[in-house]
Every structure is written in structure tokens, then in C-alpha cells.
Amino acid sequence: MHDFIVVGSGSGGGSLAYYLTKGGAKVLLIEAGKMYRKDTFPKSEADTSAQLYWGGGIEFDKDARMGFLRTKMVGGSSIVYQCLMDRFDDIAFNDWKSESGVDWFNNQDMAPHYDAVESDMLLHTFVESERNGNARLFVDACDKLDYKWGALRRGQGDCGADKGNDCLACLGGCHRDSKQSSLVAFIQKGEKLGLEIQTEVEIGQIESNKDSVTIKGINNGKPISFQGKKVILCGGSFGSTKMMLQSGYKSKLPALGNNFASHPQFMWFGLQKEKVDAHKLMFQSVASKDPNFRKQGFKLENVFAPPISIAMLYTIYGAKHQQYMKRYRHMQCIEVAIRDENNGTIQIDNKGKLIVTKRFTDSDMLKKSKGLEVIKNILSTSGAEEVFESSLYFGLHLMGGCVMGIDPNKSVVNPDFQVHGESNLYIADSSIYPNAPGINPGLTIKSLGHRLAQQLIK
Amino acid sequence: MANHFSNAAKKGLSRMGDLILPASGEFPKYSDVAGLQYLDELVVNAPKEDIDSLNLLLTILSFMPTFILKWLIGKMATSQSNPSNGFIGVTFRQLDVGLKGLVFTTYYGEKINPNYTGKTPEQLVDFKINRIVD
């Protein structure tokens, strides 16, 4: 029997499995998706969407308004995201502490875990010479408007920018093993230390025994089960919540499936007379760092995407669509991400299908409109000839559903990551986030994994 | 690879595609370029019931009069700004994203008809990225 079974291999599961293995434990890491390596990641945008995401691309909320991008492969979302590594500020931790009653939610207690994770990753803060056309337009306009901005810190090694490598390709997985995904920074190192990995297993049932936990699932259409002394769910907000709901925990834990938030992101485009080439080189190197924006609950990021995704964001059909796409290289792009309220819910229907409800509150709408006002100023100052907003929007940071707290009526796991009332079942991923921090969640998820590993190895 | 989509479904998608992306300037019409042979590859991770529903819908669209398809596209185009969260509003939004996803993926990307000899939409968009591997 394994000492620990970790279910889910994204930011939380990858780091946790590595630190447990490094601590001498016998660990099995289970993942619903496949294992891809740097030389086997999909090479086209179409294959990336089809092969690496649940649902074959985008999943939607109940109202079919907000799209969610949820990955399905070893390494999880850390494979496709930009690997931006930000520590939380006091605002984020204070809000967590106040909502959950967990007293170690503060920068002092989390610092050793941040330090440990950062020391196991290659980190890079972008410099001026690495800015592409889109970033230069953003920075110049922010300077003119006196908006504060900052260079992003990313988990990366040698991205080959000096050789002309375009990092847009790594949205489908980094073909250089430069991006410090969970796979590169933790899982591959764990494999060398004896970490076992079982792929393509979707867990649907959890059963707690006196001294162990049995988990049952499906592997290539056939039932399969595993038994571990302790099981830690790291399937993310949707994955872990779904496993808990399917296993009948909602009757014991009324907060299960509640407090969902997703940092909704709205993209705006400006068409420039000259080519911007937002898709070239390091396509995301700067972001807003304005304390006023933070207070108002939004941030701006300098992003872009390959043609099919950009085509999806423009809602006009016919010849006008093609003429718009013809100006792909002239597009400037900025998104606003809001620190949304955690009013969403995650449920399953009688067939076990996820039903996510996420509606904006007045406060969310105010944050969005404040952010869009700033974006319009930036695009106008940048000299955009035409400006448009995509009516599609996305939740990329899926958080909550199994939140941490001291009250079993308002939370799912206790401050030791244990499911309330269970001694051998734990959760350690973004589903335990009490509310939306308004900051990229990846580094903190990994650091929470480190904290739990230290606790369990003791 | 499973063969999820009937010929009638592919015809339905082509008809919708030609209304969504007609021939315009240098751009070819959808059906001249569409990589319909790749549809099965695009749904490898989609739930089977969703694929079956899509196949049925596309099959129905294959024999609908053109004016109905145009009406449908008009509804899809405004669906994202439609405030209704009722059945009709939700259905048109799902249709908008689902059909657009298939049409754009088999037009603006690499999954196009290998027999197409003209300049591809991806070339017309002038999208090129360098994937440098040491």
C-alpha cells in the first residue's frame, strides 16, 4: 500500500507529490489525462485545444456565458499557463484569514513555503529588451497616463528568445522544458526519486476506511481501484469538488461546492496602423501594478493568442470577420481580470455532469467597468485606430468548492488540509481557496502543497 | 479514431460555414478550405452525449432552408449580449460557441483540406511562430 496517493497532478498535486517523495514516502500520483513530454506536446492550436482540455476546449457555466479552460494532462494547467509566479500580498491573506478563521494565512507563516518552492524553480523577471510590440505599447501608454506597471516574474529557464523562439507555442506545452510547469519543476524530478505515476484514471468514488482510503475510478473504460494510507485530492476546483460530490460528502459538508470564484478576464483589442506582432517572442512580459487598481479589485495583463482563439473572440460573422482577422498582426491586446466575489457554486446533475453557476454581482460589474475605463484610456493613448471588446469572457483561475476554514458548516477542509471529520483524506489545490485573491494563484498553490508535505512527512 | 460525424452532418457544417465565412477578397469560402476530415480529432475529449447532439444538430442543418440558417446565425451573433438566461438564450450561446469553434478551427488553423491549393487563411492572416528546439 502506498503511504500517499495524490489525485491530480497540477500545481498542487505536482509539488506535493514531489515533496512527499523527496521526504522518503512511497507516493502514487494519479492523473485523469495523458502524459506528454516536451517532444510530444501537440504542435497546433487545434490539437492543443482538443487534446489538452476537458470538454475538448472550453467548458461553460450553466448560463453558457463564462467559459472555463480546464486542462487534462500530467502537469495540469501549469503546462499551458504562463507560469507567472507571484506571492500573495497582505490584502489577499487578510481576506482569506477573515473569511476562513485560519490564522496561518499570512505572509510570515507562508514565507518558508514560498522560499522552498521558489528555490526549486528557475525564475526570471522580464527586462526591457524582452518586451514585444504589444508590451511596448502598454508600457508607453501607462507611463503617459501615470498608471503603475511592472515586469512579470515567470518560472522559466532558457526560452530561446535570443534565437527567435516565440513563447506563444508554449501555450500548448513548452517544447524546451524551459517553462517551470509542475511537470518540469517537480514531477520529472520526483520520478527520479521513485514517484510512481498512473495516467488516464478518472476517480469517481472515495471511500474512507479506518486506517486507509480506497479510491475507485475508470481507466480506459475499465474499473480500477487504489488504496492508500492517506489520499490527497489535488484535482483543482472542479475536479476535487466533483470527486467529493460524487462520493456523497455534500450531506455531511453543506459548504461543499460553494464559494467558487474564477478571476473573470475580459479582453479588449486595439487595431494599430503599424504591425504590433503581439504573438511574437515573449508575448506576456508586463502587467499593471497600480495600487489604485488593486484597491478597486482589478488588474490588467498584456496577453494574446493564436488565430483560432482570436477568431473566436470576435462575434461578427461574414466578410467583416475575415477582414478583421487580416489585421491579426496589427492587434494590440489587453485584458482586465477582476477579483470576483466567491458566489459561484459547483454541483453535479444525476448523470454526474458538472453544473457550474457563476453570476456577476454589482460589485463584480463595477470592477469590470473600472478596468475597462482604464483599458480604453490605454488603447486610445496608444493610437489605436479602432477598438473593440470581446463579448466572450473566461475564468482561467478556478478556485473554491472545497474551501478551507475552521467551521465545518462553512468549509470543507480544516486548517490541516483534512476533510472535516476524516483522518486520512485531504485536499490541497485551488479548491481550498476561501475567496479570490486577485493575484495569480499558481505559486501559492505549490507552496500550500509544500506546507502539507512538511506536515505529513513529520 | 471513431467516426462520429455523418456525411450529412459534415454537409450541415459546410453550409453554416459558408454563411459564417463566405468568399471575401482574398479569403476563400469555408467549404473550399474546411478540413472536415479532422472533425473527429477535434472532439477526442468531448463527452459522447455532446458529440451525439452535435451530430444530430448538424444533420438537421444540412436540409434546412438557407433563410433559416441565416436567421439562426443572426441569433447566434447576438446571443452573447442577450441578457436572457432562459433556455433559448442559453441554447443560442452554446450554438454560437460550438459551431464557431468547429468552423474557425477547420479554417484559420492547420486543420484544413489537404487538397486545397490556394493561399490558406492562416497564410492570409500571416501567422507564423518559431518553435526553436535546441
Q: Kind of pairing, strands A201-208 and A213-219?
A: antiparallel
| Candidate from A51, A175, A308 with C-beta closest to B45 | A51
* Interface contact B108-A56, CB threshold 8 A: no
User: pLDDT (tens digit, 9 = 90+) per residue, A331-375?
Assistant: 999 999 999 999 999 999 999 999 999 999 999 999 999 999 999
Asked if the structure places residue B54 within a domain, the reply is: yes
Which of B1, B36, B39, B45 to mutate: most A Cβ within 10 Å? B45
- Contact present, A261 and A341 (Cβ < 8 Å): yes
Between CA A178 and CA A170 the distance in angstroms is: 9
* Interface contact B94-A323, CB threshold 8 A: no
Which phi and psi angles does A214 have, rounded to 5°? -105, 135
Residue B82 pLDDT class (50, 70, 90 cuts) = confident
Residue B127, chain A, CB below 8 Å: the answer is yes
- Contact present, A398 and A324 (Cβ < 8 Å): no
Between CA A168 and CA A181 the distance in angstroms is: 15
Does position B81 have pLDDT exceeding 90, yes or no?
no
Q: State the DSSP code for B28.
A: P
Sign of the CA dihedral A75, A77, A82, A87? negative
Which of A321, A388, A389, A394 to mutate: most B Cβ within 10 Å? A321
How many other CB atoms sit within 10 Å of the CB of residue A343? 17
Give CA B111 to chain center in angstroms: 12
For residue B80, the model assigns a pLDDT of 87
| A406-A411-A415 Cα angle (round to 5) | 40
How near does any CA of chain A get to the CA of B68, in Å?
Answer: 16
Q: Which residue of B has its CA nearest to A315?
A: B77
Q: Is B122 helix (H, G, I), strand (E, B) or coil?
A: helix
* Interface contact A175-B46, CB threshold 8 A: no
Between CA A50 and CA A283 the distance in angstroms is: 23
Residue A291 CB burial class (10 angstroms; 0-12, 13-18, ≥19): exposed
For residue A237, the model assigns a pLDDT of 98
Write out the H or E segment, with its range, that includes residue B72: helix B66-79
For residue A323, the model assigns a pLDDT of 95
Asked if the structure places residue B131 within a domain, the reply is: no
Between CA A116 and CA A451 the distance in angstroms is: 10
Asked if the structure places residue B2 within a domain, the reply is: no
Q: State the DSSP code for A45.
A: H
Q: Which residues of chain A are within 8 Å of residue B75 when distances are taken between CB atoms?
A: none
Asked if the structure places residue B1 within a domain, the reply is: no
Write out the H or E segment, with its range, that includes residue A446: helix A442-457
Give CA B117 to chain center in angstroms: 20
Q: State the DSSP code for A187.
A: I
**Residue showing cell 497582505:** A90
- Total domain count, chain B: 1
* CA-only gyration radius of chain A, Å: 21
Between CA B103 and CA B95 the distance in angstroms is: 12
Between CA A401 and CA A394 the distance in angstroms is: 18
* CA-only gyration radius of chain B, Å: 16
CB-based contacts of B43: which residues, under 8 Å, 6+ apart? A50, A56, B4, B50, B51, B54
Structural domain boundaries, residue B80:
7-125
CB-based contacts of B86: which residues, under 8 Å, 6+ apart? none
Between CA A227 and CA A206 the distance in angstroms is: 10
How near does any CA of chain B get to the CA of A329, in Å?
Answer: 7
Give CA A263 to chain center in angstroms: 10
User: pLDDT (tens digit, 9 = 90+) per residue, B29-72?
Assistant: 999 999 999 999 999 988 889 999 999 999 999 999 999 999 99
Between CA B99 and CA A281 the distance in angstroms is: 31
For residue B85, the model assigns a pLDDT of 86
- Ramachandran area for residue A78 (φ above 0: left; ψ -120 to 50: alpha; else beta): alpha
Sign of the CA dihedral A395, B54, A243, A171? negative
Between CA A330 and CA A43 the distance in angstroms is: 24
For residue A57, the model assigns a pLDDT of 84
Between CA A99 and CA B26 the distance in angstroms is: 57
* Interface contact B110-A62, CB threshold 8 A: no
| Candidate from A64, A317, A323 with C-beta closest to B94 | A64
Between CA A337 and CA A300 the distance in angstroms is: 6
Q: Is the ipTM of this complex over 0.90?
A: yes
User: pLDDT (tens digit, 9 = 90+) per residue, A262-307?
Assistant: 999 999 999 999 999 999 999 999 999 999 999 999 999 989 999 9
Does position B2 have pLDDT exceeding 90, yes or no?
no
Q: Kind of pairing, strands A425-427 and A222-233?
A: parallel
Between CA A114 and CA A87 the distance in angstroms is: 7
Between CA A455 and CA B57 the distance in angstroms is: 53
For residue A55, the model assigns a pLDDT of 84
Residue B134 pLDDT class (50, 70, 90 cuts) = confident
How many other CB atoms sit within 10 Å of the CB of residue A58? 20
For residue A81, the model assigns a pLDDT of 93
For residue A458, the model assigns a pLDDT of 86
Per residue of chain A (458 residues), give pLDDT as tens: 999 999 999 999 999 999 999 999 999 999 999 999 999 999 999 999 999 999 888 899 999 999 999 999 999 999 999 999 999 999 999 999 999 999 999 999 999 999 999 999 999 999 999 999 999 999 999 999 999 999 999 999 999 988 999 999 999 999 999 999 999 999 999 999 999 999 999 999 999 999 999 999 999 999 999 999 999 999 999 999 999 999 999 999 999 999 999 999 999 999 999 999 999 999 999 999 999 999 999 999 989 999 999 999 988 889 999 999 999 999 999 999 999 999 999 999 999 999 999 999 999 999 999 999 999 999 999 999 999 999 899 999 999 999 999 999 999 999 999 999 999 999 999 999 999 999 999 999 999 999 999 999 98
Q: State the DSSP code for B29.
A: P
Give the CA distances from residue B48 to residues A33, A89, A246, B13, in Å, rounded to whole numbers and listed in that order: 17, 44, 20, 19
Grid cell, residue A456, equals 505529513
How near does any CA of chain A get to the CA of B55, in Å?
Answer: 15
Q: CATH assignment of A1-36+86-120+181-257+398-458, given 3.40.190.10, 3.40.720.10, 3.90.660.10, 3.50.50.60?
A: 3.50.50.60
**Residue showing cell 483522518:** A423
Domain A64-69+124-171+263-396 annotated CATH 3.30.410: yes
Residue B114, chain A, CB below 8 Å: the answer is no
- Sorted by where each begins, the domain ranges of chain A are 1-36+86-120+181-257+398-458, 64-69+124-171+263-396
